[in-house]
Amino acid sequence: MSVSLLSSNGTTYPIKTVINENGSPNEDVIQEIGIPFFTSTYVVVQIIASLAMTSAITHVLLENYPLILGIFKKNQEKVPVDPHRLVCQKYKDFPKWAFGLILISSIALAIGLSSLSGSGLPPLGMVFAIFLSSILTLAVGFLNAITGFHLHVSGVVQMFGGLLFPGNAFGNMWFTTYGASTVNQSMNMLKDLKLGQYTHLPQTFVVLAQMIGTIIGIFVNYGVMKTIIHSQREILLTSGGDGVFSGVAITSFQSSAVSWGAFAKRMFLADEKYGAIPLALVVGLFLPIPFFVLHRFWPRYNLNLINIPLLAGSIASGYSGKIQVYN
């Protein structure tokens, strides 16, 4: 059940020895000890998580294509409006140009910090990570709105980062942060905006509250993190924690970042031992299609209620709730 990288003899893989200070792999050490391994259970979970992510995109497109097409064309039919939205129409919405300005400023800040830190992730990689997060937010948002289930995407984003920008574990961490964590932050922002609408608050007030909370949260979260790391260091270094504090989530994130960042081509290509993990992304795109087609011919069986991303995502999340909380 371990989420750590392992050596061929089952011991913990010496990541600090294998990864150089700039995030690149130390080839001399790798030649001596070999590439790392995952436990079988963790491999299966990663395969299922890959199926969940891409099947969510197909499921959303198949089940909601009339709604999606309606967004891009003029519809003569009168669409029902949320009554809470009608009440809030007396307030001015937060300007779209201001949202755009925040986006551009945030991207510029992210690229600048990435370059200054020596992450090894090129500016184009940062932009692609943010673009990928925008696509994934649509799929995750639709699935969450329909089922209430939040699909976690960090593992899939790490795959893209490792395959597109291989050879740097630190760069993969940066790519995942802006490609996956951005999805979670976007979902939280949308939920807050919806809550503000339900309570009939001006949208401008809600956005400003979010921005103030974000700025304050930077310092609060950093302070709490430093306190916990210093006071609970020994517990965090154990495999399972003590039931209150655990380093399992960070260990999982580190294992994926190192494996995809430093060993992507040696572990995950089609002819390698873990090639099934990225291959599952392709398979997942087609899994919802048979149920959609069968429902068209035999609607009385309600096969459209079979939700592949919900089933696969629940299995993957059930492997370790602590991992998913962090992601």
pLDDT band at 321 (very low <50, low <70, confident <90, very high): very low
Residues 185 and 139: their CA atoms lie apart, in Å, by 14
DSSP string covering 188-213: HHHHHHHHHHHTT--HHHHHHHHHHH
Report residue 146 as tokens: 């329909």
pLDDT in tens, 144-181: 887 777 777 887 888 888 888 888 888 888 998 899 88
Q: For the chain, what percentages of helix, strand and coil (3-state, to nearest 5) are there?
A: 70, 0, 25
pLDDT in tens, 95-152: 999 999 999 999 999 999 998 988 888 899 999 999 999 988 988 888 788 777 777 7
